Amino acid sequence: MNEYLTDGSKTYRRRRLLSGPWLALAVAAGVSVVAIGLLAAAGLPATLDGSTLMVRLGTTPSDVLELERVAERSGDLLAAKDRRVLRVGGGTAPAITYRGALVPTDAALLPFRAYGIRPGTDIVEPTKTVTRTIEAPVEYRGDGPLETVVRFGRKGVSVTVYGSVSGDVLSSEWVVPARRGIVVRSKGGYATSNGGKVRGTQKLVALTFDDGPDPRYTPAILKILKDNGVKATFFVLSSHAKDQPDLTRRIVAEGHLIANHSRTHRDLTKLKAADLEGEFRRSQEAIASVTGVPPRFFRAPYGITDARVTAEAKRKKLQLVGWEVDSTDWSKPGTATIVKRATPQRNGGMIVLMHDSGGDRRQTVAALPAIIRTYRERGFEFVTVDRFYK
Ligand code: ZN
C-alpha cells in the first residue's frame, strides 16, 4: 500500500505496515479464502430436514437430491387401473425448500442454513388409447367352388384404453361391432335349368344377374349397362337388398327389373314347409320395403325346385324363372370363356345367367361389354325377363 507524505520541501514515498481497519479486512479476507477453500473442498455445514448436510461450493439441490436418504422421499409411479405401485421412486422427485419456499434445482446451496425437504408426489401412469379395426369374420358353410354370400360381414372397430406402463386394460369397447359374414359354398354348377319358358323366335335376350346387390361389383355392372343402353334383371337376395338399400333402389331407378332370389340362398327343397313359406314371404316383404314394390319373379337358389317350391311360389303369385344360357361365370373360367358361353349361337329369346355377387366377380364385369357387343352384332334386343311372361 502506498502513501504520499509531505515533509517540508521533501516529498517522499514510504511503505507502511498494515494496521487498524486494513488489518481486520485482511484477516477477514484470509478467513474468507479459507472458508471458500473449505467450501470448495470439504464443505461447510448446513442442515437438511434437521440433519447435517455438508455444503460445498456450487452444491445445488440437484446434487443433494441424488443422496440416498433424499431420493427415498420421491413419489411412486402408480397403475392407472388400481393404483398399485408400479415403480418405487417413479413419481416426482422431492424438492429442497428454504423457509418454506422451493429452492431452484440449479441454485447454489449455502452453508449454515436450515433447508427442508418437500417430498415428491405419486404419479399415475399415463394411458394410451388404441383403436383397432377387425376384419369381418367369415363363416363358410358347405363345400364346393360356388360361393354365395348369404350375409355380408362388417368390419368391427374397437377402442381399448391401456395403462401405458403396466399394460393393464382399463376399458375395451366395440364402437362398431363386427358382424360375421356367411358364405355358402356349394358344388359347381346349378343343379337344374328349369327353363324360362321363353317363347317365340324373336331375337330377344335377357341378361340376369344373381345373388347381389353387391357394393363391389353391382355399381360397375350398372355403369356398363347404362353406357350401352341395356336394361337387365337383377335376382337379388333380400338379405343383400336390406344391406344395400340405396344400391337396390338405384337398380330400379336406372330402369332395371328387380326380382327375388330368396332371402338366404338355401336349397328350398330341403326346407320344412313353414320355413319354405317364410323364405318366400320374408324375402318378398324385405325387397318390397326397400323398393316399394314386391317382386313378381323368383329364381330358386341353385335353380333347384320341386313341386312344393313351385306350389309355394304360385301361392305367393310369383313366376319362377330359370335360364337358357349359363355363362358359368360363377366358376371363374376366365373372361373369354364367360363371353363365349354367354353368347351361344342360337336364335330366339333367351335368358342368360350371370352373377353380380357371391364371390370375386371381376371376370363377369370384364366380360360384360363383349357379351353386349356380341348380341348387338347379331341383331338382338335386350329386354328384362317380364317381357317373356306377358
Ligand atoms: Zn344364386
Is the distance from CB of 42 to CB of 59 less than 8 angstroms?
A: no
CA angle 335, 184, 271 (to 5 degrees): 125
pLDDT mean across residues, the chain? 86
What confidence tens digit (pLDDT) does each residue in 233-265 have?
Answer: 999 999 999 999 999 999 999 999 999 999 988
* Among 358, 357, 329, CA closest to 220: 357
Distance 145 CA to ligand 1 centre (A): 13
Supply 98's cell numbers: 428454504
Give the integer Cα–Cα distance in Å for 19 and 35. 23
- In the predicted structure, residue 47 carries a pLDDT above the cut 80: yes
Three-state DSSP state, 125: coil
pLDDT at position 186 = 64
To the query of whether residue 240 is one of the catalytic residues in this protein, the response is no
Catalytically annotated residue among 210, 211, 326, 329: 210
- In the predicted structure, residue 375 carries a pLDDT above the cut 90: yes
Distance 36 CA to ligand 1 centre (A): 98
Question: What is each CA distance from 161 to 78, 86, 90, 157, in whole angstroms?
Answer: 16, 18, 21, 13
What confidence tens digit (pLDDT) does each residue in 82-100 have?
Answer: 999 999 889 998 999 999 8
**Confidence grade of residue 331 (pLDDT, cut at 50, 70, 90):** confident
- In the predicted structure, residue 16 carries a pLDDT above the cut 60: no
Picking from 292-296, 338-342, 348-352, which range would have the lowest pLDDT averaged per residue? Answer: 348-352
Picking from 131-135, 266-270, 386-390, which range would have the lowest pLDDT averaged per residue? Answer: 386-390
Who has greater pLDDT, 20 or 66?
Answer: 66
Picking from 130-144, 191-205, 338-352, which range would have the lowest pLDDT averaged per residue? Answer: 191-205
What confidence tens digit (pLDDT) does each residue in 190-206 have?
Answer: 434 445 455 556 788 99
pLDDT at position 196 = 45
Three-state DSSP state, 233: strand
Question: What is each CA distance from 339 to 85, 318, 344, in whole angstroms?
Answer: 71, 30, 9
Give the integer Cα–Cα distance in Å for 62 and 300. 83
| β 181-186/146-151 pair status | antiparallel
Distance 330 CA to ligand 1 centre (A): 9
Give the integer Cα–Cα distance in Å for 245 and 257. 15
- What is the residue-wise DSSP string for 253-302? HTTPEEEE--SS---GGGS-HHHHHHHHHHHHHHHHHHHSS--SEE--GG
What confidence tens digit (pLDDT) does each residue in 260-279 have?
Answer: 999 988 889 899 999 999 99
pLDDT at position 9 = 47
The helix (run of H) or strand (run of E) holding residue 102 is strand 101-102
pLDDT at position 3 = 41
The pTM (predicted TM-score) of the whole model is 0.58
Burial of 343 (0-12, 13-18, 19+ CB in 10 A): buried
Neighbours of 157 (CB within 10 A): 15
Q: What does the pLDDT average to over 29-45?
A: 70
Share of the chain above pLDDT 70, in %: 86
Give the integer Cα–Cα distance in Å for 267 and 264. 9
Distance 265 CA to ligand 1 centre (A): 6
To the query of whether residue 227 is one of the catalytic residues in this protein, the response is no
**Confidence grade of residue 145 (pLDDT, cut at 50, 70, 90):** low
Distance 210 CA to ligand 1 centre (A): 5
**Confidence grade of residue 78 (pLDDT, cut at 50, 70, 90):** very high
Helix pair angle (245-253, 273-291), 10° resolution: 70
Q: Is the peptide bond before 213 cis (omega within 30 degrees of 0)?
A: yes
pLDDT at position 8 = 45
Catalytically annotated residue among 256, 261, 355, 356: 355
Who has greater pLDDT, 101 or 186?
Answer: 101
Distance 301 CA to ligand 1 centre (A): 5
Q: What does the pLDDT average to over 357-382?
A: 95
